[in-house]
């Protein structure tokens, strides 16, 4: 067999092994009073994000140890959160109001006191999730193919935007049709970079985790595969304190569960 053909076959086998079927296996679940938008997690606690409130719980038994509730009327739609150091960063929008406007709201992770903000102002999309990866901020801006459409933009306008640590916009990407079809008529509600360097995201309500990667060329993220999950869309969080396994926290909003799963 000549070398080019052999190399092509080996590459195909390696790619097939990488993209082999995976699924999420439930480890445990906690039912709480309200679980509506998403969950963040650190080494000891998980944080439940609702439209205008946040609760902090121990990972062992879900005991609530702190809480915050908006009393200003400003926060209508906190969408997701991520713990970085001693801060909780939440993607926030004015959904379902129009025109779309978004911000990142920052809380002290210990006390849940609101401590800072970064405003995107009017932006062509609603900020639904945030991550910090390789020294850059990554924020998804959702658009919808239903009554929440703004400016004639359907969910094909959903965008991943890369910012510097000082919030200067660097690049942006469209989402591939495979996941837009799964999102429809909604958009992406959760997302995070995995330890493997791939991008994982969820839609609004389907029990699926979509695996993507940045393209080597062109403006559209590359779709790799779909992982069936127990949790049902919305914002999720990888537990980076789990060193030898891929553990993530997700939610089922209809019955207010936080679901802890392992990707196998």
**pLDDT surpasses 90 at 16:** no
To the nearest whole number, what is the mean pLDDT of the chain?
93
For range 52-72, the mean pLDDT: 98
Which residue matches tokens 């799964």? 182
pTM of the model: 0.91
* Architecture label for domain 27-263: 6 Propeller (2.120)
Q: 2: pLDDT confidence band, cut at 50, 70 and 90? A: low
Please report the pLDDT score of residue 115 as a whole number. Answer: 98
pLDDT tens by residue, 131-166: 999 999 999 999 999 999 999 999 999 999 999 999
C-beta neighbour count of 195 within 10 angstroms: 10
The pLDDT of residue 19: 54
Distance CA(204)–CA(146), nearest Å, equals 13
Q: How far apart are CA 55 and CA 262, in angstroms?
A: 23
Contacts of 6 (CB under 8 A, 6+ apart): none
Residue ranges per structural domain of the chain: 27-263
Joined together, the tokens standing for residue 166 give 């000082």
pLDDT exceeds 60 at position 57: yes
**pLDDT for the residue numbered 1:** 53
pLDDT exceeds cutoff 80 at 4: no
Pairing of strands 45-49, 38-41: antiparallel
Q: Which residues pair with 46 in a beta bridge?
A: 41, 57
**Residue 48 scores a pLDDT above 60:** yes
């Amino acid at each position: 067999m000549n070398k080019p053909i052999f190399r092509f076959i080996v590459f195909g086998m390696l790619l097939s092994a990488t993209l082999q079927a995976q699924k999420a296996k439930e480890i445990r679940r906690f039912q709480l009073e309200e679980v509506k938008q998403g969950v963040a997690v650190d080494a000891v606690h998980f944080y439940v994000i609702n439209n205008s409130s946040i609760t902090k719980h121990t990972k062992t038994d879900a005991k609530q140890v702190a809480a915050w509730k908006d009393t200003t009327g400003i926060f209508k739609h906190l969408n997701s959160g991520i713990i970085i150091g001693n801060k909780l960063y939440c993607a926030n929008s004015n959904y379902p109001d129009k025109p779309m406007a978004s911000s990142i709201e920052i809380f002290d992770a210990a006390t849940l006191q609101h401590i800072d903000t970064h405003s995107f102002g009017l932006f062509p999309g609603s900020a639904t999730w945030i991550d910090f990866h390789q020294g850059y901020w990554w924020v998804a801006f959702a658009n919808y193919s239903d009554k929440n459409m703004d400016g004639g933009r359907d969910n094909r306008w959903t965008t991943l935007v890369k910012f510097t640590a000082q919030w200067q916009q660097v690049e942006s990407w469209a989402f591939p049709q495979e996941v837009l079809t799964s999102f429809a008529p909604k958009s992406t509600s959760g997302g995070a970079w995995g330890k493997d360097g791939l991008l994982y995201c969820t839609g609004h309500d389907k029990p699926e985790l979509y695996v993507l990667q940045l393209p080597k060329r062109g403006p559209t993220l590359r779709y790799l595969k779909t992982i069936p999950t127990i949790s049902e869309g919305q914002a999720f969080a990888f537990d980076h304190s789990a060193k030898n396994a891929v553990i993530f926290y997700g939610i089922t909003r209809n019955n207010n569960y936080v679901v802890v799963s392992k990707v196998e």
